[in-house]
Amino acid sequence: MGMVGGGIGAFIGAVHRMAAALDGEIELVCGAFSSDPEKSKVSGARLGLPAERVYGSFEEMIKREKRLEPGKRMQFVSIVTPNHMHYAPANMALQNGFHVICDKPLAFNMKEALALEKTVEKTGLLFALTHNYTGYPMVKQARQMIRHGELGAVRKIVVEYPQGWLSTNLEASGQKQAAWRTDPQRSGIAGAMGDIGTHAENLAEYISGLRIVELCADISTFVPGRQLDDDGNVLLHFENGAKGMLHASQISAGEENNLNIRVYGEKGGLEWHQMEPNTLLVKWLDKPMQVYRTGVGPLYPEAQAHTRIPAGHPEGYLEAFANIYRNFAVCVRAREEGAAPDPVYLDFPSVQDGVRGMQFIERVIQSGKSAKKWLAF
């Protein structure tokens, strides 16, 4: 694996590296960790990489790695830069024969997203987007329960993603994470709705198996001086007639990273909270609620296959993230070996999911400015 971005001090780069390392199946072999070659060098050295494989730019990395022998060069590229720097390295890597795993959202805007989708289709290479929350075993259990009709037809979905860390003008302090996320030049047209709203949208569609077809959004910026949205409330219509609400916020003071979802069907409902991820509440009409737990009892194979340790030994964010990487690695290896991967691992967010995410961002911002109630997705 070669990495683009993720130099020292970056949050998400370190996460990707730990996720990739966990199962001992992926090795970081090279990187272009910063747009500043000097910084890249320092980061690479700290990560224990040989100097010759620490590059000053992603262009250099892709060109030089391509010249190495197949067994020696990186097998895929991991892209962990801010949004405005997803498309160029992803596209170039694909064009040069490297598979790609990329942080979300897919791109800076819809145009880039569609172009990237085309490149993936054209090259036939593997592409994964790290909507990491779909990597949790209990999220997979939820998806399978709905897919197998255990709750009946879905009627209502409530998905929330409140955070509080941008309640003040943190970007003014120069805090790196806050700075790029609130900067339209690097983040795109959306702030909170792009950064975390897309996770919520992706989770709702992943678990329910239903697509959003219409939405009505109320988008706000509460912190004075901020250029992008820091809060959004959205009404949703799903393809089967189900109704929904989505809200995402970075000014919900005191909230940590409280992504959660509830899905109600004709026969029962389910509830999952990212901050207690090994628990899935399943509610029934006039029967006791059940508490499904990672590793306990009869679970769908999709849930079981994404669990590493016995019940009661909590698996967290990094393990879920590692599931995306592991599945991607399984598919890369199967591809190299000309084998079909175990279908249970054929499960990571795709470029198409990424396009839907970008579409969500564009629609939700557009709806926020519109006096019309419903906007087709």
Q: Which of residues 19-78 bind its own copies (CB under 8 A)?
A: 21-24, 28, 47-48
239: contact with its own copies by CB under 8 A: no
Tokens of 69: 């022998």
Residues whose CB is less than 8 angstroms from the CB of residue 17 and which lie 6 or more positions away in sequence, other chains included: 3, 6, 28, 47
Establish if 11 lies at the interface with its own copies (CB under 8 A): yes
Distance separating alpha carbons of residues 162 and 178, to the nearest angstrom: 16
Judged by CB under 8 A, which of 45, 309, 340, 346 binds its own copies? 309
Member of 45, 68, 172, 275 binding its own copies (CB under 8 A): 275
Nearest to 140 by CA among 321, 312, 306: 306
The site string for its own copies over 126-155 (x = CB under 8 A, - otherwise) reads: -------------------------x---x
Which one of 16, 17, 226, 363 is in contact with its own copies (CB under 8 A)?
Answer: 17
Binding its own copies (rule: CB under 8 A), the pick from 268, 349, 354, 357 is: 268
Return the biggest CA–CA distance within the chain.
Answer: 65
**Interaction with its own copies in 203-232: which residues (CB under 8 A)?**
216, 218, 220, 222, 231
Distance of closest approach, residue 237 Cβ to its own copies, in angstroms: 8
Q: Where in 311-350 is the site for its own copies (CB under 8 A)?
A: 311-319
Q: Which is nearer to its own copies, 90 or 242 (CB)?
A: 242
Number of residues that bind its own copies (CB under 8 A): 89
Q: How far apart are the first and last CA of the chain?
A: 35
Residues 187-226 as b/e (b if ≥16 CB within 10 A, e otherwise) read bbbbbbbbbbbbbbbbbbbbbbebebebbbbebebebeeb
> Which of 71, 174, 372, 376 forms a contact with its own copies (CB under 8 A)?
372
Q: Which stretch binds its own copies (CB under 8 A): 59-67, 82-90, 109-117, 240-248?
A: 240-248
Within 171-200, which residues bind its own copies (CB under 8 A)? none
* Cβ(126)–Cβ(187) below 8 Å: no
Q: Is 284 in the site for its own copies (CB under 8 A)?
A: yes
User: Following DSSP, what letter does each residue of 97-165 receive, concatenated?
Assistant: T-EEEEPSSS-SSHHHHHHHHHHHHHHT--EEE--GGGGSHHHHHHHHHHHTTTT-SEEEEEEEEE--T
